[in-house]
Structure 1
Amino acid sequence: MPPETTVPALARTAPADVIHNIGYRHYDGPRLGRAYARRSLFAQSLRGAFGLGRSAKSKVLPMLLFGVMCLPAGIIVAVAVATHAKSLPVEYTRYAILLQAVIGLFVAAQAPQSVSRDLRFKSIPLYFSRPIERGDYVVAKFAAMASALFILTAAPVIVLYVGALLAELDFADQTKGFAQGLVATALLSLLFAGVGLVVAALTPRRGFGVAAVIAVLTLSYGAVSTVQAIAFEQDSSGAIGWLGLFSPITLIDGVQSKFLGATSAFPGGYEPSSAAGAVYLLVTIGLIAGSYGLLMRRYRKVGL
């Protein structure tokens, strides 16, 4: 037989196809569904806002900002208890306004981390494959950022309230102020979370997102405050209130000074009229709802 026609003995006896059983089995456990996926994404995003579950370096800035938020409240409480003060030197509703720069920095650092990384590394289609949908993603991210901000802003308010009770201040007055402070911080958290996420979701670059959020939240406050001060010096008090509509923090200031009994931080202690107060509230609610709508529209465009 010619060499080219010879067939090795092993090849003649080996089977043509072999099926290997490597142990894969069909999953027959519980199907947890969209609600579980939404809760898991919320919990993961909330933990990530404070650096939990991430590297040690990622924990430094959020924990530092949390400490900066609570430290002045602790000092105020210590002084009030030691001096037997008759009232706290800072209102519950004013505390977040005074430390709005810290809050803005927290949003600028964590909003891009929450959404920009998913856009940059193109992991959004993995979320949207199943069972989670676009609405679930937006709700989870929005709720997580708002919850993180509420923890950041409500913690020092709780410290102030506990200190007021330790200083034996009037229970009814302090409880009322504490409740007003929690409402104000909840409203601020929703507004800042919505605005921060919308701005951060516009770019997959985290650095650009950080700069844009700072510009919208912090620089807008500086610009509005400067123009308000100029209007006050020129005796144009009517313009002070309407100028406050152009910055998130002055919006919150206007709402709480009108509806929550807070002292206004506007120049000259200007308090919005009933009509202006209603406009402030409507604009605030509109911005929160509009931020959610813009996020939904943004993630409709991020397809598979």
Structure 2
Amino acid sequence: MQPHSRRTFLALGLITLTTACTSSPESDPRSDVMPGNKGPGPDPDDPARLRAIAATDTLLAAYDTALATAGAQTALLRPLRADTAQHRAALAYGIPAASVPPAPTTPAATPTHTPATLAALERQTAQAHLTDLGAVQPPLARLLASVATSNTLHAAVLGAPLDDQPTPTTPPPPSATPAPATSTPGTSLPALQNALSAEHAAVYGYGVVGAHLPEDQQRADARTFYAAHQSQRDAWQRLLITLGATPTPAAGGYQLPFAVTDAPTATKLAAHLETRLTTVYADLVAALPAPQRPAAATALRDCALRAHHWGAPDTPFPGIPEPVPTPTVTRQS
């Protein structure tokens, strides 16, 4: 096995990703989670954020209605409702308090919500967030993609099938003001190369995973996910070539984050790889120009669903690892 380069370790998440390795406020994951304008004047993203808050409030009210009569399902619904409340807090951060409608506090009288109707509403909310993906500035695009992914995970927990998920087509609504062109294909090349390196590592990692799984459904799933990562790797290579860049080649070998000796450690590796990739793709959403964000948002969603499949814990903000503190300061009008 050849000596491992820094890129080799980076792709497997053994050192801090280049997109988050500085200590400046702009690279603090919490700054990206709560992307409110800290300067004077209105934030051009506020209309999109208010739309996202409204959709989240509808979801919160539905959870409150369901919880009022949940009974044995309370343990299932409460964590999902808590995640949704965190989504609202992050979306509302920095907006003048007078501009944000109050959060729902009492259950609506109708309709009665079941896990199935809540799953459908989670998917609807995810699609609403993705619709604005191309009309906002990069930090909010990253947050919207992450929250939409969390909505999709909630739908899966509630029993929604995984083969028919919301797709981020991102046509901006007629009233939306397009975000300034803060990134171009050229400036996003490092993030694309990082995503390609991570996919090279994932393909290698799944080879290890499959070799330690029994010949059963788990190995079949590993083969399916291995092929998905090969396809995503090839897609990034084609895009980089189209942009006039030379795709980063795969390394000669990769250092695993821990020893893989049996089926439990193999599934742990698969969960690790997919979880690390969610961070790569959340960062890529912010790095890419608006027309290319849907591909990164889709990759973020798919990796989060695969991580969930392998038993990784779900988080309120997939791909954004820092916890979200309760906002205490709002921007002045």
The structure carrying a bigger helix percent of its residues is 1
Of structures 1 and 2, the larger Rg is shown by: 1
Q: With structure 1 as the length reference, what TM-score do the two structures score?
A: 0.31
Whose RCO is larger (CA < 8 A, sep 6+)? 2
